[in-house]
Structure 1
Amino acid sequence: GMPVGVVSGDDILGRIPHWIEEGVALDHLETGEPIATVADRLVCANAYLGARPIAEALQQGARIVLTGRVADASLTLGPAVAAFGWAWDDWPRLAGATVAGHLIECGAQATGGLWHKWNEVPDLAGIGYPIAEVRDDGTAIITKPEGSGGLVTVANVAEQLVYEIDDPARYRTPDLDVDLTSVALHQDSPDRVRVSEATGRPPSDTLKVAAVYRDGWTASGMVVVVGRNADVKARAAGQLVLERVRRAGFEPAESLVECLGGGDVVPGVLVPWDPVYEVVLRVTVRDPQRDVVERFCKEMAPLVTAGPSGITGYATGRPSPRPAFGFWPTLVPRSLVPASVEVREAGRWIEGRAR
C-alpha cells in the first residue's frame, strides 16, 4: 500500500493550563493580555509547525503527508529539503524554497487571481493554479498548467510576493526568517517567472500560535437602502435600531453600523459618490448574553415600516443569534512544541482507526 505520513504536535490546547501554572507567557500579541483571562473559554489552540517534520516523513518514504497547522510556505520547503538533502542551515536555499512556497500558497493569486488588472487576465473562469519548479540551487520557476487560464508575469508574481508578509526584510516562518527585499524576478518565457537571490537567517526561538475562544453571542442584520443620500439615511437607520434596543433595557457590549457603498469598507480611502443613491446597511452587535442579541434581532425587520423610507431587500432574512468567537494570537517557546512523525501504509492507518 501507499505509505502515508502523519505529522502531529501542533495541537497545544490540552497543555495550556499546565503552562499557565508554570508561568509560560502566552500573552495576546496585540493587547498584551494574559491568556489566563480566556483560558476557560478556549476551544482550540494550534502552533504553526515548520518544514522539518514534513521532510522527515518524506525521507521515511511517505508519498502523502497529513499534517495539522503548519506555515504555508513550509509545505513547499519540506519536500524541497527531502528531495535535495539540504542542510537546515543552508539559508540561501531554504530561503529560495520558502519564497517559492509563499508565492503558490494562496490559490491562484500568482496566476492572475486577485490581481489589480483582473480584467486583463485571459480566461479567468478557467484559471490554473500555480506550480513551483524548485531547483537544487534554491531558485524556482513559477508557472501554471499548460492550456489553463490566467497568466504568470513578473507583475502579478510581485504582487503575491508582498502579500501578508509584515516586514519584507524579515518574513518570519517556523523554519527561517527570509529577506524578501533581495528577491529577483525574471520573465524567462511566457507564463514562466524565475525567482532567485532570496536570503535568509535563523528563525526566532518561538512559534506562532492561533487560538480561538468563546466570546459570547453575535448577530448581523443587512438591508438595502435606496434614495438620495442613501448613506446618510442608512447610518441614521442603524443608530435608530441601536437606540430602540437601549430603550428596551439592553446595551450591547459592542455594536457596529456599516454603510456598504458609502465608503465604510476602507474608511478614508474609498470616497463615495455624492450623492449616494443605493447602499447596504449592516448592523452587528456582540454581547456575553444571548438575550441582548436576541432583542437586537427583533428590531431589524421593523425598519421597513418604522424607519426612514427606501429600506428594502432582506436578502439574508431576519438576523438570529449565533455563537461569537475571538481570536488569540500568541507565541510559545518552540522547545515546548515537539512535532512527531509516523509513517504507515494507508491500509494500516485505516485498520488503526477502525480499532
Structure 2
Amino acid sequence: MASRPVRIANISGYLGDRYTALDEVMAGDPVDVVMGDYLAEITLAALAAAAGRGKPGWVGYALDQLTPHLGEIARRGIRVVTNAGGFDPAGMAEELRRRAAEAGVTLRVAHVAGDGVADRLGALHADGHGLEHLDTGAPLKDWGFTPIAANAYLGGFGIAAALAAGADVVVAGRVTDASLTAGPAAWWHGWGPDEFDALAGAVTAGHVIECGAHATGGNFSGFRSVPGMVRPGFPVAEVAADGSSVITKHRGDGGAVTVDTVTAQLLYEIQGPRYLNPDVTVHLDSVRLAQQGPDRVAIAPVTGSPPPPTAKVAVFAPIGYEISTMLFATAPDVEGKVELLRAQLRAALEGHVDELDVTPLGVAATDPPTQWAATVPIRVIATAREAAPLRRFAPAVGSLYLQGFPGFHHDGHAPRASEPWPRIEYWPALLDATELDHHAVLDDGTRVEAPRASRVATPDELAQPVHPEPDLPAPAGDPVELGAFAFARAGDKGGNANVGVWAPDPAHWDWLRATLSTERAARLLPEAGGRIVRHEFPHLRAVHLVLTGLLGSGGSANLRVDQIGKSVGEYLRAKHVEGPA
C-alpha cells in the first residue's frame, strides 16, 4: 500500500473543455495520474448519432490533446485515465497505440469493456429484465422507440485492474465520472471493493474534480471574488489511503479552491444525500469541508455503504427531428407581438409539425436607454417525427417580414437554419449489476476481471432520507435578492433538475432553511409545478432541491432554452425574499 496520497489531476470536464488543459497540467505541479472526463449524457447522445453515420465512436478531441505529450507522459511515469473511448474504447486504445508507436514512445494502453449492452437488449428482455426507467419505473419495451445505443455506468475497478496489471493509459467508455478518480485511487492504495468508506471518499473527491474548473471558480455564484477567472486552472485531488482528500490546483494557475467552490461542485448533479455509484453508496450528508490553506480544501470524513444492486444504463434512441431560429421583438407591447408570431406560425405549420414552441427571453426595459435594452429575443423551435415536414419551417418564418409584427427581424449576421437535425432521447434504465461483464483488456489481449463488492445495498439503505420541514418562523426582514446571502449551483439528472443553495455565512443558515421550505421554494420556482423534493445538508449549510420532471425526458430532447437546467440556481438567487433580520 502506498504511504502517500495519490495526486490526480483533471484535464477535462466535458467534450469541448479548454483544449490546452493537458499542456497546462504538464507544465504545472507534479502529479501521478491525469484523468479526463468527456462523456456528459448529452455528449453520449451526439456520439451515438455520429456513430450511426459511420464516424468513430470515440472522442478524437481527447486523442489530439494527448498525442503531443505521449513521450513526456512515458518519461515521467504518469498514468492517464479517460472515458473518451465513448462507444468504442477498444478502437481508441488501438489508435493511441498506433500514435505512440509512430512517435517512438513505449506506452502500455488498455481499455475497459463491458458497458455496452445494446446488442443484448433483446436477450435481456427475454430473460425478464424490464430495464425500467429510473424515475418512472416504466419498462423499456413501452418506450415506443428503437434504441441505437445502451451503455451501463461502470465503476472504477476495471480501471484499477488495468493499472495494477501494468497499463500506463486506460481508455474507458461509459464509466461514472467519479470512477475516473476512484479507480486510480483504489489501484494506488490497494483497496478492495468492500472498503466502502475509503471508496466513498475517493468518489467524493472524483465528483469534485470531474468537472474541471467547476472546482476552481467556474460556474460559481461568487465568481467576482475569484482571482484569475479569465483562465481558471484545473483541479487536483490528493487522495489518501483512508479515502480522505485535499482538493487543490496547480500553483500559478488562475481561479481558487475554497470551501465554497468545493461546496458548489459537491451539490452539483446529485439526487439527494445518498449518492449512488457502482462501487459504493456515498453518504454526502456526512461530508465535512475545511480550508487547510490557500487553494487547499480538505474533505473528511466521508461515510460509505454497499453499492446498489442495479446499474444505470444510458439508452438512446432517435425520436425525430427539430429545427429552430432566433427572432427579435422590440418594445412596446412585446407580449402582443409574441402572441401574433405564435398565431401566424401555428397557422402556417399546423398539421405538419408535432410541437411548436415560441419562447420570449427576458423583458424589455421601461423607457429604454438604447434600442437593445428595448429588444427581447424570441427562440422558435419545431419538431416532427420525420425531417420533410420541417422543411416548411424556414419558409414559414421567412414569410413574416412584411406581414408579421412591427419591427420583426432576426440577426442578419447569423446563418438561418433550413435543414432539420435529429433528436435523440435518453432513457435511464436499471439493470441487475450482475448482468454486466465488467473487465479490462490489456495491450496483449489479456483479459482482467473487475472485482465486485461482496454485498449490495438493501432498498432501505438506498432510500433517500426524509427531512422534515424547518420548524422556524418565516423570515421577516426587508426584501432582498436571495443571492445577496446565498450561493447556488444547478444541474441535470436525466429529466430532473437539481439546485443546491447554501449560506456561506453560518449566521444565515437558519434563515436559508426557513426561506427555502418546500412550500416557499415552490412559490419561488413556479416552473417546477410543485414537484419538488427537498433535503438539507447541515454540515454544508445547504438546502438541496430536486425539481422533478422539469427537463422532460432529459437534456438531449427537451425543448427548454436552458436545456440542462444550468441557470436555474442563478434564477432562484435573483428572486426577492424576506431577508435575515
TM-score normalised by L of structure 1? 0.88
Change (3 A) 1:39 1:243: closer
Query: Contact 2:115–2:152 (CA<8 Å) still a contact in 1?
Result: yes
Correspondence 1:106-145 to 2 at 5 A = 106-145=211-250
Query: Contact 1:28–1:35 (CA<8 Å) still a contact in 2?
Result: yes
Question: Matches of 1:65 and 1:39 in 2, distance apart?
Answer: 37
Question: Matches of 1:244 and 1:48 in 2, distance apart?
Answer: 44
AA aligned to 2:353 is: P
1:179 aligns with 2:283: yes
Query: Contact 2:323–2:417 (CA<8 Å) still a contact in 1?
Result: no
Query: Contact 1:235–1:258 (CA<8 Å) still a contact in 2?
Result: no
What is the percent sequence identity of the aligned residues?
Answer: 37
- CA displacement, residues 206-232 of structure 1 (integer Å, 9 cap, x when unaligned): 100111101112111211222223344
Match of 2:124 in 1: 19
Match of 1:265 in 2: none
Question: Matches of 1:213 and 1:28 in 2, distance apart?
Answer: 14
Match of 1:215 in 2: 319
Change (3 A) 1:124 1:345: farther
Match of 1:188 in 2: 292
Question: In the alignment, which of 346, 358, 371 is matched to residue 257 of structure 1?
Answer: 358
Question: Matches of 1:115 and 1:258 in 2, distance apart?
Answer: 27
Higher mean C-alpha deviation, range 229-238 or range 153-162: 229-238
Change (3 A) 1:326 1:345: same
1:313 aligns with 2:380: no
Q: What is the CA distance between 1:138 and its match in structure 2?
A: 1.2
AA aligned to 1:258 is: T
Query: Contact 1:4–1:345 (CA<8 Å) still a contact in 2?
Result: no
1:301 aligns with 2:398: yes
Question: In the alignment, which of 53, 74, 87 is matched to residue 192 of structure 2?
Answer: 87
Q: What is the CA distance between 1:340 and its match in structure 2?
A: 2.0
TM-score normalised by L of structure 2? 0.55
Question: Matches of 1:235 and 1:32 in 2, distance apart?
Answer: 38
Q: What is the CA distance between 1:70 and its match in structure 2?
A: 0.5
Query: Contact 2:130–2:141 (CA<8 Å) still a contact in 1?
Result: no
Match of 2:96 in 1: none
1:149 aligns with 2:244: no
Question: Matches of 1:292 and 1:127 in 2, distance apart?
Answer: 45
Match of 2:176 in 1: 71
Match of 1:9 in 2: 114
Give the SS at the match of 2:112: strand
Question: Matches of 2:326 and 2:197 in 1, distance apart?
Answer: 51
Change (3 A) 1:23 1:162: same
Q: What is the CA distance between 1:21 and its match in structure 2?
A: 2.1
Q: What is the CA distance between 1:316 and its match in structure 2?
A: 4.0
AA aligned to 2:382 is: V
Higher mean C-alpha deviation, range 75-84 or range 213-222: 213-222
1:330 aligns with 2:435: no
Correspondence 1:49-60 to 2 at 5 A = 49-60=154-165
Q: Which has the higher contact order (CA 8 A, sep 6+)?
A: 1
1:162 aligns with 2:267: yes
AA aligned to 1:179 is: H
Change (3 A) 1:287 1:33: farther
